[in-house]
Amino acid sequence: MRKFFRNKWVKIPYTIVLYAFAIYGFFLTGTYFAMKFQWTNDGGMVDSNNRYFQDMHDKYNQSFKVDSVSVVKHRYEALNRIMVVNEFNPTNANYILTTLMKTQDEKLALQMLDAVDLRLMKNQEYRKAVSEMRKNKFNSKKTTKLSVYEWMNIAEWQDFKIAVTKDKKYIDSVAKVTGVESRLIVSCLVGEQIRLFNSSRESYKRYIGPLKVLALESNLSYGVTGIKENTAIKIEEYLKNPASAFYLGEEYETLLDLDSTKNYLNSENDTLNIRLQRLVQFKDHYYSYLYAALFLRQVKMQWQRAGFPIDDRPEILASLFNLGYQRSKPKKNPGVGGSVFKIHETDYTFGAVAFEFYYSGELSDVFPYQKEKFKQIPKPNKTTSHTLLPK
């Protein structure tokens, strides 16, 4: 037997197998202890940009402001940075812009942009473009909660906004029957009311300030929109006169006919004729807005017929509303103006105030912008029994 194992053809394979089993056993034993004591756990490595990731986390979770002013600033920054990215990687810029538009989440968009910054941090041209964007004078200016329109920063304006919001149902009703945009009607109201802030402090103290209602005029100009009697008469006449350049059509003819079933008397208008009684109403300002809207529509029609449309010129329409029919002379380059008044010692014109209000965005949640400032209305049902106002 010994002779058998001494044979080299047996001894060599036997030795190889023996050592193989020994090594394998050692491997199994080592593996057991390695797993038990967690010697095989991969320690990994810390990403070289770990500090950047931490800074991002801290920036967006500790100091990221979400008040209305900051949100505007964040959006401005995001849009500017997207434009920079678009110069280098339009695909990524499009992804970020699409996300911002869908989610309205400025924080998310800025985080996406920071991720791009990280990836392009070695791109000198990109870094230079971002740096130049950040140096832009609009970014370096301090933001403010105040309006760019100074007259909208005074306390009286806040009172006015409350007051005019109370009249929304009347203004919208007039807009529906005349086809004139509510916001355009309010633009004329703004000019008429805010001039009282300085020139007629008593009206402000009596109405707008304490009661948060609009000032009601009852001498020479009437109602909350300040309609003069001779202007009211002309508005009524032009509604009925097909030969007039101001004529609006059959569907508008009866809008100012007298409803004989209603009583318009009150303590403020008991000495006035019925036309003016309708304008001087304490709470129901419907006719103040109706006369104003019809004037705007009539003047718009006059200029349209003359070949000089002013549909999209609220500042011109408001100027003419303030100046009257006699100053409405269609021409190529009309001027913005009207009466001049002071608001906290600063001069403004009626037309400029209307322009600034219309495009300011103020009260747009109450009186939103419409695609058309003048819509055609359907012809009315002629079964009503209204009568004409006395001359």
Q: Is residue 36 part of a domain?
A: no
pLDDT confidence bin for 41, thresholds 50/70/90: very low
With 0-12 / 13-18 / 19 or more C-beta atoms within 10 angstroms meaning exposed / middle / buried, residue 259 is exposed
* Domain span at 25: 2-31
Which of residues 139, 167, 202 is at a domain's end? 139
129-142 pLDDT, tens digit per residue, is: 888 888 764 555 55
Helix (H) or strand (E) segment spanning residue 349:
strand 346-349
Same domain, 15 and 126: no
| pLDDT for residue 44 | 53
Here the tokens at position 66 are 């979400």
Phi, psi of 205 (to 5 degrees): -65, -30
Distance between CA atoms of 378 and 255, rounded to whole angstroms? 12
Phi, psi of 389 (to 5 degrees): -75, 150
Does residue 12 have a pLDDT over 80? Answer: no
Same domain, 183 and 294: yes
Mean pLDDT value of segment 203-222 = 76
| pLDDT for residue 110 | 86
| pLDDT for residue 40 | 47
Q: For strand 346-349 and strand 340-343, is the pairing parallel, antiparallel, or unpaired?
A: antiparallel
Distance between CA atoms of 258 and 66, rounded to whole angstroms? 54
239-260 pLDDT, tens digit per residue, is: 999 999 999 999 999 999 988 8
Q: Which of 64, 70, 72, 66 is nearest to 361 (CA)?
A: 72
Q: Which of 325, 127, 343, 131 is nearest to 234 (CA)?
A: 325
Distance between CA atoms of 284 and 168, rounded to whole angstroms? 11
Q: Is residue 222 part of a domain?
A: yes
Q: Is residue 23 part of a domain?
A: yes
Same domain, 132 and 208: no
Same domain, 158 and 111: no
Measured in whole angstroms, the distance separating CA 140 from the mean position of its chain's CA atoms is: 24
Per the CB < 8 A criterion, the answer to whether 330 and 302 are in contact is yes
Q: Where are the alpha helices (DSSP H) in 241-285?
A: 274-279
Which of residues 102, 117, 139 is at a domain's end? 139
pLDDT confidence bin for 314, thresholds 50/70/90: very high
100-117 pLDDT, tens digit per residue, is: 988 888 888 888 888 888
Same domain, 21 and 127: no
% residues pLDDT > 70 (the chain): 73
Same domain, 235 and 325: yes
